[in-house]
C-alpha cells in the first residue's frame, strides 16, 4: 500500500498516518522527496486492506492511497502457478483440450433435451447444458421447468455419458441442483450474490461463475475467491459480455479477458458467445475468435427448432449449425495449439496497473 | 411492436411474419411503402413480448423489430397515474415531504447504533438505516453482526420512534429481517436476484430497491415489477450510481434518473450519495443536487467516529456534518417546492425513445 | 512513480529498473519487504512520465507501475491554489456569481438571434450563446450559417452589452471566430483535437472546453493543459454528459464532476443540461441540481419557437420557460451560497485515487 | 419513422403530428389499436430525419419516435451490396486476402523506419505504417517528426514497394500528408472532427477511419458517410477498442464489431490490437482472434527496440515477435477461409434493432 502525502502536508499528518498503520501492526517505510513524503507498506495487508485504505484516504494531508497487491489470493496465479484442471465424468476442463458446452437455453421437455444431447454429443460437445431454473428479466416470462427439468438433464447425461451443467439461483436450490447436475452454474446477475457464492462453495461440485455484465475482472476474481475460500477450488470462469454504450449488440464480448485471465489466475476460462451477441449469426465468428484468443472452451445454446424455443431462440443454433461450428472450432483449436507453443512468449513481464486509458 | 421488413424481402416472408403474429392471437397491421413493408402490432402483447420479439428478429426478410410499449406495467405511471405514497410508523415517503434515511453503514454495536439514531433523529432524519447483513466484495471483510445487529436496530427504533431500513441478502433471511425492520432493502448487487425479489414481494413490508450499478432504468423498473407482481405495491427506488469509464469517483451518480423516473413511474425515488461518490466531502454537494433535482429523499451514512468505522468510514459523515447537511437540505427542499409548482410544466409531451446518442 | 516488483523478481531485474530510472536522471528509493521490492520515484517526473511508465511496465520482473503525481500541472489546484476568475465585458465567471449562458443552438437568422438575446438578457443571462459553425453527426444536417451567423451574434452583443460565446471547429476558423466572439467554445467531439486546442491557446480569447462524451476527467484536464500551456490561462470547463450504457437519456450528466473539479483544478466549471439530457423537460431539474452541486454556471439552449428550430429544438427552452428557470436558479444559488459557507468543510483530506469500484 | 401516441392522446394531437409530417412532404400511415394510435412514415425521410424526430418527440401526446431506417446511406450494404475492395500500389484490401499493416508507432528516424520496413515486408506485411504527426494526450510528450518523418516513410515505401499509411490531424495537413503517403489515417480522437473528415474526403487517397473510443458503430458509420459523401468511396474502418468500465486493459476490443460491420456495410474492416490492449503480450492472441472473427486485416506496432521507443513501446512488437505472429496469422486466416465458405450461413435474417440488453 502506497500513501502519497499532499505537497502541503505537515510532519504531524505524516506521523498520524504512520500511527494508523502501526495500529494495524503494519510497518511504514518512508520515502522523502523534495516536494512530498510517500509512505509505503510492503507485504500482505490481509483482510483489513479495503477498510484501511478507506480510512487512510480521508486522513488530513493524504493525497492518495494505492494498493500494491491484488485483493484476491487463492484465485491468483502468483499464489498458485499451475493451471487448475477440473475433471468431471472423465472430461477435463483447462488441460489444453477444447471444452464445448452445448444444449438448450431452457429445458422445455424430455424429448427435446434427449434429442439435443445426443446430437451435440455426436458432434463433439464435451458438456451438456440446459436451464431448469431460469432468471428472466421479466416476471411474466417462462421461468423454467424446475426439478422436472433437472430430471431430464440427468437422463440426458445417462444417455450420452457427458457431464452436465445447469444454473442455480439461490442457496435453497443448491442441494437439489447438485443432486442432479455435475457442474453448478452461477449466472451473470448473481455474480455478487454472496450468499449463493458461499453456498456453492460448500456444494462439492465444480462451479462455473459467469462474469457479471457490469463487473470488472477484479470483482469477478473476488467473487471466485468467495467460492474457493468456502472450500471449493474447482471454479471455471465464463466470459459472456459486458455492458457498454454500444447498442447494436446485446453486450460487448470482452475477449481480451481470456489471455488476461490466463495471466492473472490459474482457473480455466470459457466464453459464451450466445449471450454476448444475442444473435445466432454472430455466434460462430465469436466462438472462433474465442478459441483463437486461447479460451479453454465455449458454451453455446443449441435447440432442435430455435424458432419455437421458449427462451433465447434468436441466439440458439440449429443442430446443423452446431455441427459445422464444432468441426471448425476443433480445427482452429488444433492449429492455434500447434502454432503457439508458449502463449506467454510475448509476455516478458506483465504489468497491467497504472494503465492510463487512451 | 413494429416489424420492419428489409428492402429485398419477399411477400412470402411478410406473410410468414403475419402468420407468426396470428399464432399468438395478435393482429398485424400492414404499412406499405415504396421501398419496404412495415408491419405493426398494436396494444399490449403481454408476457410473450420478449420471446416473440426474439423469434421475429431472426425470421428471413425481417430487418428489425422494435417494441412500442414498455415491458413494465404495474410500476408504470401510464397504468397508475397517481404517486405511490408509502407510510411507515407515521412517516410518509413520496408525498412531497423530504425523506432523510440516515445511520451507520454497519451496525457495529448497541451503543453506537443508539447514539447515532438519537443524533440523526434530532437533526431531522425520518428513517433509520443500519446494516446487519453486509454484502462485501471481499470474503475477508467484516460481514456484519447479523441478527444481533437487527436487535440493536429495533431498539433504536423504539428509542426514537423512527421507522428502520436494513438490507436483506437472500430469501432465507427475509422472515427474520422483516421481524425486526420496517423497510427491507435490496442491495445493488442483488437487483436482479429474482428469488430474493419474489421473496420480498411476499414479505408484507415496504421494500427499497437499489439500482444495480450496471443496470438500465428499464431493467430496474422490471426488477421492481417482480416485487409488485408478487403482491407488494410498496416499492421505493434508490439511485446509487452506475458503473462508467470514469475512475475518479467510485460510481457516476445518475441524477437525471430522478426526473425521468418521476415521469415513468409512480414510485418514490431516493438518492444515495454516499455509495455513489465513496467520499465524505462529495456527499453534501450531491445530496443538495439530488434534492434540487426533485428526489423524494436521500439516504446517507453517519457514524459517531467515521475514522474507526468497520466499513465505509471514508464516506460516512460525522454527527456535525450530518446536522449541517440536513439543515441545508430542508431549506433547499422548501425553496425548490416553492419555486417549482408544477415539475412537469416544461414537459409538454415526454417522448424518450429513439433518442440518438450525441 | 511506484514500481512494484513481482514476488519472484530477481535482484538483477530490480537493478535494471533502477538503471532505467537513473538514465532519466531520476533517483530510485528502495522499499524492501519480505515478499517483494517496491521502488519509488519521488518528485515530478516531467514530460517523460507516460513513456517511462510504459517502458517500466513491460520490464522483466515488474508487476505494476503506478503514478503518484497527476499529469496535469498548470491546470491543477495544487500548483495554483486560487480560483481562476475570467472577466469578459465586465462579466465575471468563476468568482462566486452565477453565470448563465443562453441562446439558440444554431443562429438561424438575424431577427431570431437579436430577439433571443434581448429576452435572455432581460431574464438575467450573463453570456449569449449561438452556433454559427455546427458539428453535426450527419453530413446531411444543417451545418450553420457560418460567418453570417457570427455577424448576427456580434450584433446581439452590441444590442445587449453581453459577452458572447460560439463554437470553433478547426484551426483555420479560429481567427475569424475570435474576431466576432468573446469566448471560443471547443465542442465535445473536438476535446482531443490537439491542433485546435493549440490554436485556441494562442487566440487571446477565453476558451470554454466541453468534456468529450467519452473522456475521463483526467483526459479533460490534460486537454485544458494543452490550451493553458499554449499561453492561454483563461479556460472554462463545461460538463455536458458522458456516454454510458443507459439509453433513456442521450447522455448521463456527471454532476459529481462539479465538486470534484473544484477540488482538482482552479478553473471555473459550467454545466450544460440541454445536451446532456436532450429533452426540454429535463433541463430545469438538472440545471437546478447543477447549481445546488456548486457549478459556477450553466449553459442552456433557448429558441423563440423551439418546434421550428433547425437543430436541437427538442431540448431548447421557450422564452417563458427560460425566464422561470433563471428566476429559480438565482434563488437556489443564493440559498446554497448562504448555507454553505465553506464548500470543503467536509473535506478534511481529499484522496481520490485507489478508489476501488463497488 | 414510427410515432407512438400515448394512451391518453387526443385525436387533435394525432392530427397535429400528421400535419407536421405533411409539412415535410411525408405521408402518415395510421395504425389504430384499442389503446393507442401509431403513425408510421415509410420510405426514406432524407436529411431532415434527426431534426424531425426531435420535433415530433416533444409534441403533445407523443409517447415515442423510432426510426425505421438507418441514417447512413452510402456506407450501408443495403444500398451497395458488393464489398468495397481498395487497391493501393497493387495491394488489395477487402478482397478476402489478409492485410497486415505494420511499422513503428512514431517514425523516430530514417534508419529505424527503413530497417523496420524491410523487416516487416519480409515477414509478410502488406502496408507500412508510421506516425509523423502524433496526437498525444499530454502536451509535454513527443509530438512526432512531422514532414521529416513523412519523407522517411516515403523512402521506406520506395525500398519495399509497399503502400504506406500515416495519420493526419487537421485539414491544413491533408495536402502534405497526401503527397507522401498512400493511405490517410484519421485517428480515434478525430473520428468526429468533421472539418477533417470533409478534407480527407476530397484528398483523392484511401482513408482509414479509426473508431472513436467512445463512439457507437452507428456514429462510426456516420463519420465514414462524411468522407464518402465528400467524394471519396475508399474508406477502411479500423476497430481499436472502446472505453468501458474495465480498467485492467487500456480499452475493450470490440471484436463483435467485425462480423456486424460486414453485415451493415460494404467497407473493409481492420483491427488494431496494439492500441486496444496497450500491452505487447496481449497483441498476438487478440490479432489471432480478430482474424478468426473475419477481419480483413490487422494493424500492429513494430519497433527495432521497443524498450527504447519514444512512444507506445510497451505495446510494440520486436521483429521476431512480429515474424512469428504474422506466420500464425496467415495460417489461421487460410484455415478460417477454408472452413467458413459462407460467413453468413448462420444469418438467415439479421435484425439487430430492438435488442434489449440482458
Tell me what ipTM this predicted complex has.
0.91
Q: Is D141 on the interface with A (CB under 8 A)?
A: no
Between CA D2 and CA A102 the distance in angstroms is 39
| Residues in chain B within 8 Å Cβ distance of C243 | 357
| Residues in chain C within 8 Å Cβ distance of D230 | 139
Between CA D191 and CA C160 the distance in angstroms is 38
| Residues in chain B within 8 Å Cβ distance of C249 | 256, 260, 352, 355
Is A58–B190 a contact, with Cβ atoms under 8 angstroms apart? no
Does the pLDDT value for residue C52 go beyond 50?
A: yes
Once rounded to an integer, what is the mean pLDDT over residues B235-254? 95
Is C78–A7 a contact, with Cβ atoms under 8 angstroms apart? yes
Determine the pLDDT at residue B343: 57
Segment 115-134 of chain B within 8 Å of chain A by CB: none
Does the pLDDT value for residue A351 go beyond 60?
A: no
Segment 252-281 of chain C within 8 Å of chain D by CB: 279-281
Of D54, D169, D190, the CB nearest to C313: D54
Once rounded to an integer, what is the mean pLDDT over residues C312-322? 91
Pick C7 or B211 by higher pLDDT: B211
| Residues in chain D within 8 Å Cβ distance of B58 | 348-349, 351
Determine the pLDDT at residue A348: 39
Positive or negative: CA dihedral A332, A97, A252, D252: negative
Q: Please report the number of interchain residue pairs, chain B to chain D, with beta-carbon separation below 8 angstroms.
A: 140
Instruction: Give the residue from chain A lying closest to B317, CA to CA.
Output: A58
Q: Give the closest-approach CA distance of C42 to chain A in angstroms.
A: 5
Pick D297 or C342 by higher pLDDT: D297
| Residues in chain B within 8 Å Cβ distance of C300 | none
Is B58–A313 a contact, with Cβ atoms under 8 angstroms apart? yes
What are residue C236's phi and psi, to 5 degrees? -110, 135
Determine the pLDDT at residue C55: 85
- Which of B8, B35, B68 best probes binding to D when mutated, by most D CB atoms within 10 angstroms? B68
Q: Are C71 and D319 in contact (CB under 8 A)?
A: no
Task: Please report, for residues D189, D194, D317, the alpha-carbon distance to residue D131 in angstroms, rounded to integers and kept in the order given.
Answer: 15, 21, 16
* D256: nearest Cα among D211, D224, D223: D211
- Which of B139, B309, B321 best probes binding to A when mutated, by most A CB atoms within 10 angstroms? B139
What are residue A61's phi and psi, to 5 degrees? 90, -5
Dmax (CA) of chain C? 76
Does the pLDDT value for residue A358 go beyond 60?
A: no
Between CA A86 and CA A83 the distance in angstroms is 10
Residue A312 pLDDT level (bands cut at 50, 70, 90) = confident
* C118: nearest Cα among C164, C160, C163, C165: C160
Determine the pLDDT at residue D342: 61
pLDDT, tens digit (0-9, with 9 covering 90-100), for B4-13: 888 888 999 9
Q: Is C29 on the interface with B (CB under 8 A)?
A: no
Burial of B247 (0-12, 13-18, 19+ CB in 10 A): middle
Determine the pLDDT at residue D311: 81
Dmax (CA) of chain B? 76
Once rounded to an integer, what is the mean pLDDT over residues B252-277? 96
Does the pLDDT value for residue B105 go beyond 80?
A: yes
D101: helix, strand or coil: strand
Instruction: Give the residue from chain B lying closest to C219, CA to CA.
Output: B246
Pick B13 or C34 by higher pLDDT: B13
Determine the pLDDT at residue B55: 85
For residues C219, C288, B234 and B230, what is the CA-based torsion angle, rounded to 10 degrees? -40
The residues of chain D scoring below 70 in pLDDT are 43, 341-358
Does the pLDDT value for residue A342 go beyond 70?
A: no
Q: Is A288 on the interface with D (CB under 8 A)?
A: yes
Q: Which three cell numbers stand for residue A49?
A: 486492506
Instruction: Give the percent of chain C with pLDDT over 90.
Output: 68
Is D137–A252 a contact, with Cβ atoms under 8 angstroms apart? no
Of D214, D282, D336, the CB nearest to A260: D282
Q: What angle do CA A345, A348, A351 make, to 5 degrees?
A: 125
Residue B320 pLDDT level (bands cut at 50, 70, 90) = very high
Residue B202 pLDDT level (bands cut at 50, 70, 90) = very high
C73: helix, strand or coil: coil
Instruction: Give the residue from chain A lying closest to D264, CA to CA.
Output: A248
Of A213, A214, A357, the CB nearest to D243: A357
| Residues in chain D within 8 Å Cβ distance of B70 | none
Pick A79 or C233 by higher pLDDT: C233
Q: Give the closest-approach CA distance of C173 to chain A in angstroms.
A: 27
Residue B342 pLDDT level (bands cut at 50, 70, 90) = low
Burial of B154 (0-12, 13-18, 19+ CB in 10 A): middle
Is C33–A43 a contact, with Cβ atoms under 8 angstroms apart? yes
Instruction: Give the percent of chain B with pLDDT over 90.
Output: 68
Does the pLDDT value for residue A216 go beyond 90?
A: yes
CB contact set of B174 (below 8 Å; sequence gap of 6+): B168, B184, B196, B199, B200, B203
| Residues in chain A within 8 Å Cβ distance of D348 | 280-281
pTM assigned to the model: 0.92
Segment 183-222 of chain C within 8 Å of chain B by CB: 213-214, 216-218
Does the pLDDT value for residue A48 go beyond 90?
A: no
Q: Are B33 and D43 in contact (CB under 8 A)?
A: yes
- Which of A138, A278, A354 best probes binding to B when mutated, by most B CB atoms within 10 angstroms? A138
Rg for chain D (alpha carbons), in Å?
23
Terminal CA-CA length for chain C: 26
Does the pLDDT value for residue C344 go beyond 70?
A: no
Between CA A92 and CA A98 the distance in angstroms is 9
Q: What is the 3-state secondary structure (H, E, C) of chain B?
A: CEEEECCCCCHHHHHHHHHHHHCCCCCEEEEECCCCEEEEECCCCHHHHHHHHHHHHCCCCEEEEECCCCCCCCCECCCCCCCCCEEECCEEECCCCCEEEEECCECCCHHHHHHHHHHHHHCCCCEEECECCCCCCCCCCCCCCCHHHHHHHHHHHHHHCCCEEEECCCHHHHHHHHHHCCEEEECHHHCCCHHHHHHHCCCCCCEEEECCCCCCHHHHHHHHHHHHHCCCCCEEEEECCECCCCCCCCCECCCCHHHHHHHHECCCEEECHHHHHCCHHHHHHHHHHHHHCCCCEEEEEECCCHHHCCCCHHHCECHHHHHHHHHHHHHHHHHHHHHCCCCCCCCCCCCCCCCCCC
Positive or negative: CA dihedral B328, B329, B330, B335: positive
Once rounded to an integer, what is the mean pLDDT over residues C107-127? 97
Determine the pLDDT at residue A346: 47
Instruction: Give the residue from chain D lying closest to C314, CA to CA.
Output: D54
Determine the pLDDT at residue B94: 96
Report the neighbours of C using a cutoff of 3 or more CB pairs below 8 angstroms.
A, B, D
CB contact set of A244 (below 8 Å; sequence gap of 6+): A251, A252, C245, D242, D244, D252, D254
Is D58–C245 a contact, with Cβ atoms under 8 angstroms apart? no
Is C348–A67 a contact, with Cβ atoms under 8 angstroms apart? no
Of D43, D63, D352, the CB nearest to B64: D352
Is B259–C286 a contact, with Cβ atoms under 8 angstroms apart? yes
Is B354–D66 a contact, with Cβ atoms under 8 angstroms apart? yes
Q: Is A310 on the interface with B (CB under 8 A)?
A: yes
Q: Give the closest-approach CA distance of A9 to chain C in angstroms.
A: 10
Between CA C113 and CA C93 the distance in angstroms is 23
Between CA A193 and CA A172 the distance in angstroms is 13
pLDDT, tens digit (0-9, with 9 covering 90-100), for C64-88: 888 877 788 899 998 888 999 999 9
Q: Is A53 on the interface with D (CB under 8 A)?
A: no
Segment 237-256 of chain C within 8 Å of chain D by CB: 243, 245
Once rounded to an integer, what is the mean pLDDT over residues C299-318? 89
What burial letters (b/e) apply to B28-64, b meaning 16+ CB within 10 Å? bbebebeebbbbbbbeebeebbbbbbbbbbbbbbbbb
Q: Is B283 on the interface with C (CB under 8 A)?
A: yes
| Residues in chain C within 8 Å Cβ distance of B284 | 340, 346
Pick C289 or B136 by higher pLDDT: C289
Does the pLDDT value for residue A154 go beyond 50?
A: yes
Q: Give the closest-approach CA distance of C16 to chain B in angstroms.
A: 32
* D269: nearest Cα among D298, D292, D301, D242: D298
Q: Please report the number of interchain residue pairs, chain C to chain D, with beta-carbon separation below 8 angstroms.
A: 147
- Which of D217, D239, D285 best probes binding to A when mutated, by most A CB atoms within 10 angstroms? D285
Residue A343 pLDDT level (bands cut at 50, 70, 90) = low
Is B58–A135 a contact, with Cβ atoms under 8 angstroms apart? no
| Residues in chain C within 8 Å Cβ distance of B245 | 214, 216, 242
CB contact set of B96 (below 8 Å; sequence gap of 6+): B337
Q: Is D291 on the interface with A (CB under 8 A)?
A: yes
Of B7, B50, B65, the CB nearest to D351: B65
Count of C-beta atoms within a 10 Å radius of residue C110: 15
Between CA C212 and CA A103 the distance in angstroms is 44
Segment 80-119 of chain D within 8 Å of chain C by CB: none
Q: Give the closest-approach CA distance of D4 to chain C in angstroms.
A: 16
Does the pLDDT value for residue A28 go beyond 70?
A: yes
Amino acid at each position: 500500500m502506497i500513501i502519497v502525502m499532499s505537497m502541503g502536508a505537515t510532519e504531524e499528518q505524516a506521523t498520524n498516518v504512520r500511527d494508523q498503520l502501526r495500529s494495524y501492526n503494519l510497518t511504514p517505510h518512508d520515502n522523502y522527496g523534495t516536494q512530498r513524503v510517500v509512505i509505503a507498506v510492503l507485504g500482505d495487508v490481509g483482510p483489513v486492506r479495503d477498510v484501511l485504505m478507506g480510512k487512510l484516504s480521508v486522513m488530513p494531508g493524504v493525497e492518495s492511497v494505492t494498493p500494491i497487491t491484488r485483493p484476491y489470493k487463492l484465485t491468483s496465479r502468483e499464489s498458485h502457478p499451475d493451471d487448475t484442471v477440473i475433471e468431471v465424468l472423465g472430461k477435463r476442463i483447462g488441460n489444453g483440450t477444447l471444452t464445448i458446452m452445448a444444449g438448450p437455453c431452457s429445458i422445455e421437455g424430455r424429448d427435446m433435451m434427449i434429442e439435443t444431447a445426443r446430437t451435440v454429443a455426436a458432434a463433439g460437445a464435451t458438456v451438456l447444458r440446459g436451464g431448469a431454473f431460469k432468471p428472466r428479466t421479466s416476471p411474466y416470462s417462462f421461468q423454467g421447468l424446475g426439478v422436472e427439468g433437472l430430471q431430464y438433464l440427468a437422463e440426458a447425461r445417462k444417455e450420452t455419458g457427458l457431464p452436465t451443467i445447469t444454473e442455480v439461483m439461490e442457496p435453497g436450490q443448491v442441494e437439489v441442483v447438485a443432486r442432479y447436475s455435475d457442474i453448478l452454474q452461477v449466472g451473470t446477475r448473481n455474480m455478487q450474490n454472496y450468499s449463493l457464492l458461499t453456498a456453492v462453495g460448500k456444494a462439492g461440485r465444480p462451479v462455473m461463475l459467469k462474469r457479471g455484465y457490469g463487473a470488472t475482472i477484479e470483482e469477478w476474481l473476488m467473487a471466485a475467491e468467495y467460492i474457493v475460500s468456502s472450500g471449493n477450488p474447482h471454479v471455471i470462469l465464463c466470459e459472456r459480455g459486458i455492458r457498454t454504450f454500444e447498442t447494436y449488440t446485446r453486450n460487448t464480448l470482452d475477449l481480451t479477458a481470456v489471455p488476461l485471465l490466463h495471466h492473472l489466475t490459474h482457473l480455466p476460462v470459457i466464453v459464451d458467445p450466445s449471450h454476448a451477441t444475442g444473435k445466432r449469426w454472430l455466434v460462430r465468428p465469436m466462438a472462433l475468435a474465442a478459441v483463437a484468443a486461447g479460451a479453454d472452451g465455449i458454451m453455446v445454446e443449441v435447440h432442435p427448432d430455435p424458432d419455437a424455443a421458449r427462451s433465447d431462440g434468436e441466439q440458439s443454433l440449429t443442430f446443423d449449425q452446431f455441427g459445422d461450428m464444432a468441426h471448425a472450432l476443433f480445427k482452429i483449436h488444433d492449429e492455434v495449439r500447434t502454432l503457439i507453443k508458449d502463449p506467454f512468449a510475448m509476455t516478458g513481464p506483465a504489468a497491467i496497473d497504472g494503465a492510463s486509458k487512451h
